[in-house]
Amino acid sequence: MTERKPSPGEQSRPEQAGSRGERRAIGGVRNDLNTMLLPMFTEQAEATSFQTEVDGCILTMQSGDGEFRLPTALDRKILNLLAAHVRDVIRSGGRPTRHILVHRQELLDLLNGSGTHAGGADYRRLNERLNRLLSARIIAERAVNAQTSRRRHFRWIDAFEEELRQTGRGKELVRLKISLSEDAFSWITRNEGFDMTHQQFSAITSSGASISRIFDICLAKLVYARGEDVYMQIDDLRRRVPISAHLRSFKSRTLKNAMSAISASPDMSRLVSLELCKRAADGFHPLDGQTRLENVYLRVSKGPGSLPSIDCLLPEDRQDGLPTVRLAPGQALANLLHEGDEILPLFEDQEADMP
């Protein structure tokens, strides 16, 4: 690949300037609340398709390439890192782009642990993760009224380009240019989110896919509630992970293990505290004896630490001037189902607006 001199605008953005040296996202990683809440990544290791329903929307995930399965919550780490690079450009006064240059070691450190020696197997796994993100297609469908529904197809990344160097051991990956899809770029920049250090992020995500997913969902719900207690029906939680296990098995195994791991983790327990309870006519009570599964809820309470401070990377879109709204749970999927730049209020009857 021919090296070119960066433009003045690119020179002001060290993480996207194309230097051959390592460029780390300077503020750790970036989470957005709606990706944390929504079931965009499957927990099933070999799944090539998955469907679930959440917030009145049917989500279908499909792999467009028979060679690769669907991306998991661990593959999402790459998107967290790309979001951090976009954030750094915006906060340094640069113009953000969905085409992001990232050094291979930064990705491997995030995926495998900082300072871990990388070998051929690590590069192959990185390539597989990128291909899963590239081939995955998400279909969101939501009813407009009794006769009409809207469906949107989108993906996380459009392309990735590898820069390779010839060495005595063969070709060695140096860096990548990863192109987010327009939907993913808008999702990252126009939804509220927060920053997390690499150390915190690694400690949480190393706990396992289902544990980190349950923690993400609970933390996002708690942040939206501004620290007030939140009660989640456990089937809603199961659908958000998402996991195909039967509800009884999810409660007795997956959720039980996650609650134990979160309680034992200083990084997670300082933010959230979890307790199973039952819903009755007069409110919620501690879980005791036999309780119907539909009445079992998870109470999410604030831990002793401070909740993360949330913000939006582009409070006002620099291209169309539309203000960014605070998308509460249940509105993020509606925001995807739009035409052009107009966000459709899909909670209302839109038959009259249809062409």
Please report which residue ranges of 69-197 form alpha helices under DSSP H.
76-91, 104-112, 120-135, 182-190
Residue from 193, 153, 258, 257 nearest 28 by CA? 193
Give the Cβ contact number of residue 191 at 10 Å.
22
Rounded-to-10 torsion of CA 101, 106, 111, 115:
170
Output the pTM of the full model: 0.82
Structure token pair of residue 91? 């906060």
Mapping DSSP to helix (H, G, I), strand (E, B) and coil, where does residue 130 land?
Answer: helix
β-bridge mates for residue 156, sequence order = none
What does the pLDDT look like over 237-278, one tens digit per residue? 999 999 888 999 999 999 999 999 999 999 999 999 999 999
Q: Of the CATH numbers 1.10.3470, 1.10.150, 1.20.120, 1.10.10, which one belongs to the domain with range 209-309?
A: 1.10.10
What distance, in Å, lies between the first and last C-alpha atoms of the chain? 48
Please report which residue ranges of the chain form alpha helices under DSSP H.
8-11, 33-37, 76-91, 104-112, 120-135, 182-190, 198-205, 209-224, 234-240, 247-249, 256-264, 266-269, 332-336
- CATH 1.10.10 range(s) for the chain read 209-309
What does the pLDDT look like over 70-115, one tens digit per residue? 998 889 999 999 999 999 999 999 999 999 999 988 998 888 876 6
